[in-house]
């Protein structure tokens, strides 16, 4: 059975325009940023978004079995699964950055000189 790392070589061959290819996917960072905005706006929680991004293991196994049996579709399936993993990584990075920024006390921030603000 192939793994998602094998799909990396296919990643560049999938067109990024949905009109060219129904399997087309977005930039993972853009997707993660949009999902992160949902958390920041309060419309969704972090765990809800994690669940939305994740592919349940039973579904992933079924998709990978299908991909092995039908290689023509398999490359696209590997790409989409890899995309979901990349979105998850980027989303976690954004959450981590938020936590790091929240931990920095205001007194550590550099003071702004009021003279600099005057034109």
Q: What mean pLDDT value characterizes the chain?
A: 78
Residue 119 in any domain: the answer is no
The domain total for the chain is: 1
Question: When comparing pLDDT for 111 and 8, which is higher?
Answer: 111
Distances (CA, A) of 109 to 96, 105, 106, 113: 19, 7, 5, 12
Mean of pLDDT values over 29-39: 93
pLDDT (0 to 100) of residue 119: 46
What are the pLDDT digits (tens) for 96-108? Answer: 988 777 776 655 5
Structural domain containing residue 81: 4-102
Host H or E run for residue 71: helix 71-103
Residue 117 in any domain: the answer is no
Residue 84 in any domain: the answer is yes
């Amino acid at each position: 059975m192939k793994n998602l790392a094998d799909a990396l070589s296919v990643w560049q061959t999938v067109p990024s325009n949905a009109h060219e290819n129904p399997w087309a996917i977005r930039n993972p960072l853009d997707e993660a940023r949009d999902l992160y905005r949902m958390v920041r706006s309060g419309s969704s929680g972090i765990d809800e978004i994690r669940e939305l991004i994740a592919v349940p293991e039973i579904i992933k196994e079924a998709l990978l079995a299908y991909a092995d049996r039908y290689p023509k579709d398999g490359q696209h399936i590997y790409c989409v699964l890899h995309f979901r993993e990349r979105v998850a990584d980027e989303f976690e990075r954004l959450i981590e950055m938020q936590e790091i920024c929240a931990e920095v006390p205001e007194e550590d921030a550099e003071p702004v000189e009021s003279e600099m603000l005057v034109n």
